[in-house]
Structure 1
Amino acid sequence: MHLGLALGYGGEPIEELLPIVDRAERIGVDSVWSVEEYGPDAVSILGYLAAVTQRVKLGTAIMQIPARTPTTTAMTAMTLDMLSGGRFQLGLGLSVPWIVEGWHGQPYAEPLRRTREYVEIVRKAVAHDTRVEHDGRIYQVPYRGPGSSGTARPVKSDMTPLRPDIPLYLGAIGPRNVTLTGEIGDGWLAGMYAPEHEAALTAPLDEGLALSGRKPTDVKISPILYVARAGTVEEGRDQLRPLFAHLIGAVGPGGRNTYFDVACQMGYEGPARTIRAHIAKGHKADAFAAVPDTLLDEVALPGPLPAIVDRILAWKDSRVDTLVLLSRDTELLEAAQAAL
């Protein structure tokens, strides 16, 4: 099992980040991943890091599909792969409706179809063996619909990629998205994952693998784990309770909360419904208190350093390829890497 580092870059001076990345590379961390919501983008930081690193893989976790056209993403992936000397890993995901529609001004319609078509176009463009054409329900390349000039023709990138098959990871949580990941992805960036519930959580992935005739090893599972280092496990749990209460309990009008669904998959349907009810009533403290200790211990890393390292070791017998830690704690990274 490999170790990865997720960077929640918030726009601070790059000098604050570089020592962490440098240390991660020197101790053997396998990959560094950028994140993206509606502040700093996931791409720019990796372009900078490509110039100041030598070995570590660089990935996006995730580039939001509705934010860019498929061919723009292909151009970005080819460029970052070239700048990094073949170290780029493309992580894509749908994001959530309120960001897609509220920030990007794009409809959150037919998300599975959108992902499938998007990945197909990106792969065609990166493969660079033919002009890109796609006639789908969501995307038409070239575009010949209403408002078009009528002069469009298929185009092939004028950049020859360093690699024609850049690894493509999908950030997926709900069962249908996970099935699609098993069918078309090279990797799965999992949001809530635990070795104790691996059979249930990977069942949709295996369904997708079967549909495409692929083996389990064809999709690399890479969960992203929140870390809360503290004096005691309980103190670490308390740091995480508000986050997980929001993830599990939040639901918008007509919306579906896939984190809630995954909690139910893992056997926490009762607590998940309690959390949701408290959130709906505005009882935040009660919602925080309702997050089970066992859930936090399974899907996150709370507590002092020895407890965190012990928990990381429990993942070694799972199907996970890379355990990605959302942390800037270099002492923790060193201890985790040494343990692996």
Structure 2
Amino acid sequence: MRVSVLYPLMPTDPRTVVPFAALIRDGWADRLWQGQSLSADTQQVFAYLAGMGYRVPVGTSVALMPLRHPLDAAIQARSLAVLTGHCAVLGLGPATPDFVAGLHGKPYDSPRDACVEYLTEVRRLIGTEEGGAGAVDGAVSLPGMPHPGVEIGLGVLRPTLARAAGRVADAAISWMTPPGYVRDTLLPAMAKGAAEAGRRVPRTVTVVHAAVDRPGRNAYRLAFVAAHVHLAGPHYADMLRRAGLRVHHSRPNLGARALVDSGVFVYGTPADIAVRLAEYGRAGVDEVVVNVAGVYSEHGRPDAVRDLQEILAACREL
């Protein structure tokens, strides 16, 4: 199982991301991930880092589909592969119905169908289908350009999008999903979708909240700071209930306690965290992405980087 890291905030200065990129450059982690940023744009921050000499593998977890036409998404992802010199992961997600309606006037009629259509079009444009890119029935195509490749990912929380990922994605990217839930719910749905489409099952990437137990820290507080926005989302609460946690989107404070008590928010010594992360590998996860958002927000960037360094070192020792 690969171990990667997430820059956990929307950056306002790309230089703040440099210590995270250095962990990949120096061989401690496999890939640098960022979520959607409405501050400094995610793809532009990655490009800035490459220009500084941090030409490391990167991924989005996830870029929101309604913000970009598939053509622009394909151009951005292909450009990152060229600039970094590595296969880039373009992780995509449909966003919430309210967000989509605010941009496009109404929600997607079917988020699943919208994802399948969008990822299929991005794949065609990038030319990852067998036979390469090209215009089909007058459709727009991109000019040929050598690049290290783009892996197209889909954010998944529940079986419907997991099945869709099986049909069209190279990677399924989950967030805050317990290992047993990935094994018993998401992976079977992905396998079913892949079988329907006659293709390989996508690899699985899971973003995991973590923090090292240190004096002056409170695990419940760190979990709340890190995850309260997601815990207030009905789709996240539904996923966690399916996984056996007692949560409700109207009570993110109690949801944070459930994350800690269940081990979904991983808190302990670096060795404890490494052992817990290894459970994801046994559950079928191909890449775990360590997210120290709580520490970064409460205690600052140096403490967050220190946590990552110690966690990554402990993972090496397993």
Using structure 2 for the length normalisation, give the TM-score: 0.82
Matched AA of 1:312? L
Paired residues for 1:163-242 under 5 Å: 163=148, 166-197=150-181, 198-215=183-200, 218-231=201-214, 235-241=218-224
Q: Residue 287 of structure 2 aligns with which residue? A: 322
Paired residues for 1:22-171 under 5 Å: 22-53=22-53, 56-102=56-102, 104-109=103-108, 110-127=110-127, 128-133=132-137, 153-163=138-148, 166-171=150-155
Paired residues for 1:187-336 under 5 Å: 187-197=171-181, 198-215=183-200, 218-231=201-214, 235-241=218-224, 244=227, 247-250=230-233, 257-268=234-245, 271-272=246-247, 275-276=248-249, 279=250, 288-289=253-254, 293=258, 296-327=261-292, 329-336=304-311
CA drift at 1:330: 2.8
Equivalent-residue separation in structure 1 for 2:53 and 2:83 (angstroms): 11
Identity %: 20
Equivalent-residue separation in structure 2 for 1:14 and 1:290 (angstroms): 32
Point out where structure 2 has 5 or more consecutive residues left out of the alignment. 293-300
2:309 is equivalent to residue 337 of structure 1: no
Tell me the alpha carbon deviations over residues 186-235 of structure 1, each in whole angstroms, 9 at most, x when there is no partner.
101102322233213423222212222344xx411111112233437992
1:240 to 1:54, Cα distance in 2 relative to 1, 3 A: closer
1:290 to 1:265, Cα distance in 2 relative to 1, 3 A: closer
Query: CA contact under 8 A between 2:56 and 2:85: conserved in structure 1?
Result: no
CA drift at 1:6: 1.1
CA drift at 1:171: 0.9
Equivalent-residue separation in structure 1 for 2:126 and 2:25 (angstroms): 27
Larger radius of gyration between Structure 1 and Structure 2: 1
Query: CA contact under 8 A between 1:229 and 1:236: conserved in structure 2?
Result: no
1:41 to 1:100, Cα distance in 2 relative to 1, 3 A: farther
What SS does the corresponding residue of 2:280 show, helix, strand or coil?
coil
Query: CA contact under 8 A between 1:172 and 1:189: conserved in structure 2?
Result: yes
* Shift >6 Å, 4+ stretches: none
Equivalent-residue separation in structure 1 for 2:241 and 2:219 (angstroms): 23
Aligned length: 299
Equivalent-residue separation in structure 1 for 2:18 and 2:259 (angstroms): 35
Query: CA contact under 8 A between 1:25 and 1:56: conserved in structure 2?
Result: yes
1:310 to 1:237, Cα distance in 2 relative to 1, 3 A: farther
Using structure 1 for the length normalisation, give the TM-score: 0.77
Equivalent-residue separation in structure 1 for 2:255 and 2:31 (angstroms): 34
C-alpha RMSD of the superposition: 2.8
Matched AA of 1:302? Y
Equivalent-residue separation in structure 1 for 2:274 and 2:215 (angstroms): 14
Equivalent-residue separation in structure 2 for 1:3 and 1:26 (angstroms): 14
Matched AA of 1:267? G
Point out where structure 1 has 5 or more consecutive residues left out of the alignment. 134-152, 251-256
Equivalent-residue separation in structure 2 for 1:71 and 1:221 (angstroms): 25
Tell me the alpha carbon deviations over residues 248-267 of structure 1, each in whole angstroms, 9 at most, x when there is no partner.
454xxxxxx22122122212
